[in-house]
A = this chain, B = another copy of it.
Amino acid sequence: MVVELVTTGSELLLGQIINTNSAYMAEGLNKIGFDVIYQTTVGDNRERMREAIMHALTRADIVITSGGLGPTQGDITKEVCAAIFGRSLRLDEDCVQRLKDYFARLHREMAENNLRQAMIPEGAHIFVNHAGTAPGIAIGQEGKLLVNLPGPPTEMKDMFERSLKPFLEKKYGFSAVIISRVLNTFGIGESSLEMQIQDLILAQSNPTLALLVRPSGVIIRITAKAKTREEAQGLIADMEQEIRARVGTYIYAVDDADMENVVGAGLKEKGLTIACAESCTGGLLTSRLTDVPGSSAYVSGSVVSYTDEVKADVLGVNREVLAARGAVSDEVARQMAEGVRSRIRTDVGVGITGIAGPDGGSADKPVGLVYIAVSGDRGTESTKNIFTGTRKQVKYQTTQTALDMVRCYLKKI
């Protein structure tokens, strides 16, 4: 079945908001075997919306709109669609009751215009909105299906998952299952990675392989299509095994897991605690570590030492070393890691010192130069790094590298 998505709303046309609904719906539909071949965006203009939806119906079996189901006069999607199929709108008593219940729950008065949301095209299937007030609609006619979903992403997503997907499955059956698995790598560039698995990329058919560069590192997306979920998972597992045999050391996580989740799980598993001494990252490393629920089990604390005084006073970095080598040096990073570990009494200490830019660089110490040290029972390790990009990008890359160093440290003990 061929699908066209029609997103409506003047904010989209004016570029005031970014259209995330189309990507969400397209990805979800592709995963259950529907082909999305066109996406159209049109404003809250009756004539143009009608033209766009009529044209969509000429080239797709299923047209799914999103937006324009609100209570105001500018919300016209449902009316335009009903008119295309020659249906009149009628007040639906169940919908009225759900609206009344919704406002009663919130202890709010229901405005008269909310009743517009209970006006339903004759013969339409209704999708209950569990995340807002506007019901969704599906009208089938002459082999075509026209679906109206709400515009706010939380409402659209809830209705898409809870109602539309089961509705489509019942009506058409899912012709295929498409599953993706993402292997997150760190420490290897796109072209090096490509060279290591070039034969797999060239020979790909099902599953397919894609390399994508993300701020966190290069990701490998494996996508398989099959009749059943189990069959697709089997295809992916075989490919993953082959890839891991080549570049497994660079793969730190799969799917949505971030480096901080992986490091957190490693610390928890080994029963270790961690503290960080951060200069140029300004607290971002500890903030990422503490983004993980339950991280208080292993994060004890940290010190952001933006000045030499704090490095010396709080962390105990040697003043002579600071003077001789400068704050941005390997020795200072190591002493920061050791100092914070001893000051906060943790098993692992991390020290970071560098120049995030855009100012503060020099010929021998350029912007992007960062020293990172990890200290533990087995001694202290450090790296010298040169990162590029904006201040925020340098900060982020530094934390990603530091987390990976901790990850590798944990694997060895």
Shortest A243–chain B CB gap in Å is 19
A114 within 8 A of B: no
Give 24 pairs: A residue, B residue, CB < 8 Å, sorted on A: A12-B23, A15-B23, A15-B24, A19-B19, A22-B41, A37-B45, A51-B59, A276-B304, A282-B286, A282-B299, A283-B283, A283-B286, A283-B290, A283-B302, A287-B395, A291-B391, A293-B358, A296-B306, A296-B360, A300-B307, A301-B307, A302-B303, A302-B304, A314-B343
Check A332 for interface membership: any CB of B closer than 8 A: no
Per the 8 Å Cβ criterion, residues 280-297 of A in contact with B are 280-287, 289-291, 293-296
| Interface flag for A384 (CB, 8 Å) | no
- Which chain B positions have C-beta within 8 A of A392? 291
Are the C-beta atoms of A38 and B40 separated by less than 8 Å? yes
User: Which residues of chain B are within 8 angstroms of A299 by Cβ–Cβ distance?
Assistant: 282, 304, 306
Interface residues on A, range: 35 or more
Q: In the complex, what distance in Å separates the CA atom of A36 from the CA atom of B15?
A: 9
Shortest beta-carbon distance from A50 to chain B in Å: 13
Tell me the A335-373 residues at the B interface (CB within 8 Å).
343-345, 356-360
Query: Which residues of A from 1 to 28 have beta carbons under 8 Å from B?
Result: 12-20, 22-28
Contact with B along A34-46 (1 / 0, CB 8 A): 0011111111010
Which residues of chain B come closer than 8 Å to A16, judged between CB atoms? 23, 27, 210, 221
Query: Chain A: interface secondary structure?
Result: mixed
Q: Which one, B48, B51, B301, contacts A310 given CB within 8 A?
A: B301
Residues in chain B near residue A307, CB distance under 8 A = 296, 300-301
Min C-beta distance of A80 to chain B, whole Å: 15
A148 within 8 A of B: no
In the complex with contacts A12-B23, A13-B39, A19-B22, A286-B300 CB distance below 8 A: no
Count of this chain's copies in the oligomeric assembly: 2
Would you call A344 and B310 a contact (CB within 8 A)?
yes
Q: A316 to B350, alpha carbons, bound, how many Å?
A: 23
Kindly report which residue of chain B lies nearest to residue A277, judged by CB atoms.
B301
Q: Is A40's CB under 8 angstroms from B37's CB?
A: no
Q: Are A291 and B282 within 8 A (Cβ)?
A: yes
On whether the beta carbons of A304 and B306 are closer than 8 Å, the reply is: no
- Please, how many angstroms separate the alpha-carbon atoms of A398 and B52 in the complex? 45
Interface centre among A40, A51, A309 (most CB of B within 10 A): A40
A344 partner residues in chain B, CB cutoff 8 A? 310, 314
13 A-B pairs besides A281-B287, A283-B302, A301-B303 with CB distance below 8 A are A16-B27, A19-B19, A19-B23, A39-B40, A39-B42, A276-B304, A283-B284, A286-B304, A287-B395, A300-B309, A301-B304, A301-B307, A303-B314
Residues of B within 8 A of A48 (CB): 37-38
Residues of B within 8 A of A357 (CB): 293
Is A55 interfacial (CB 8 A cutoff)? Answer: yes
